[in-house]
Amino acid sequence: MEYISNFFVTLGASWTSLLSSFLPIWAVTLVNYLVVAILLVLMPVIATLTLTVMERKVIARIQNRVGPNRVGPWGIFQAIPDAIKLLTKEDIVPQNADKPVFNIAPLVIFIGAALLWTVIPFGRGVIGQDLNIGVLYLVAIGSISTIAVIMAGWSSNNKFALIGAFRIVAQLLSYEIPMVLAMGAVVLLVGTMKMGEIVELQAIPFALVLPVAFVTYILAAAAETGRAPFDLVEADSEIVAGYFIEYSGLKFGWFYIAEYGNLLAVSAIATTLFLGGWRGPLAGIIPALGPLYFIAKTVLIVFLLMWIRGTWPRFRIDQMLGLAWKVLVPLGLFNFLWIAAMIKLPIPMLLQWALVLVGNVAAAVVALTLMGRAAKRYAAQRGVAVT
């Protein structure tokens, strides 16, 4: 049974043993690193090819349209001609741009999207590296996109690009705090930052134990990836497509790939931290089910984010930042302190989790009540009736 439950670990050891039979140790290590690196690079690319078609289909359904339906059966190959068109476009660099920084920025944002997959477990033993600071690693790597945005906006020598860069930095920094608090709530509850151990310890999906943290993470993830209704970075009527307005061709493609790579990555992180990762019925007996459960849950989160994009109107910049600082941050801090208090009680773990859930529900009710009252005051000041 141990062999079966650790099938992928055993498979990895067999692969390494096979390579060791005809390669020196340093070459085996190099080959393994190259295989992992290639997979990490391919993840955002595969995400872009599949999720672009999925999103166009989902939003078309929401808007009572058909969506892509010409290239391939049901239009599933539409991403291929789109990619060819993007690759054949002319690469234009502004005359007065800071060319080295301008050219490096797309690579930096792509590398950040690829490195996120290093510590995400697809199944038991199916993980690039189960770091003992895995959650902290995700927070650190996720901040790379902020640097890339500043590089792109500043180096373009375009005032609209610079304003777009400033906007997204304000947005990223504001929503990074509630996102970290939501992830920290899980870490505090289980007492480890290792992503593999967090999945193993989820006898109950943490979305049911920490609903406030889960919802906070989903909203922060939508903002961190710059998706509607948090897409003020691309408020076309104001700043003309944001910080990458001067990019074209393949360089624009890197930003596009990074966006969908980040969308899939934050969904995978939500699956790992809140939905039990690869855990599911018979996953311990049939190891191949683990990755299938993981993929299904991740696609569900992706669909949720697409649904939000297709149905919610865009926020104003003050509303977006107000939601982060006035609602999500206080909720995250309360949740964090409540968990810290509950896990210190000398009671069984399941009872601790039940009390954590009660605190989450109470905090959500109070927050929604206060938000409703604030909305009514805001509407009354403008003479609008709110029921």
- Ordered by start, the domain boundaries in the chain are 2-48+86-341
What's the pLDDT at 3? 46
Any bridge partners for residue 123, and if so which? 126
CA distance 274 to 316: 29
Give SS3 for 133.
Answer: coil
Residue 1 has what pLDDT? 42
What sign does the CA torsion over 105, 106, 110, 113 have? positive
Burial call 143-160: b when 16+ CB within 10 Å, e when fewer: ebbbebbbbbbbbbebeb
CB of 198 closer than 8 Å to CB of 186 = yes
Distance from C-alpha of 44 to C-alpha of 183, rounded to nearest angstrom: 22
* Arithmetic mean of pLDDT, 119-135: 86
Q: What is the pLDDT of residues 347-381, one digit of tens each?
A: 898 899 999 999 999 999 998 898 888 888 877 87
- CB 62, CB 310: distance < 8 Å: yes
Q: pLDDT tens digits for 300-334?
A: 999 999 999 889 888 878 888 888 999 999 999 99
8-state DSSP, 98: -
Q: Say what angle helices 159-190 and 249-274 make with each other, to 10 degrees.
A: 20
What local confidence, expressed as pLDDT, does residue 6 receive?
60
Rounded to whole angstroms, how far apart are CA atoms 297 and 268? 8
What's the pTM? Answer: 0.90
Reference 190, options 347, 343, 380; nearest CA is 343
Q: Is the pLDDT of residue 239 over 70?
A: no
pLDDT at residue 183 in the model: 94
Q: Which of 129, 108, 132, 109 is nearest to 118 (CA)?
A: 129
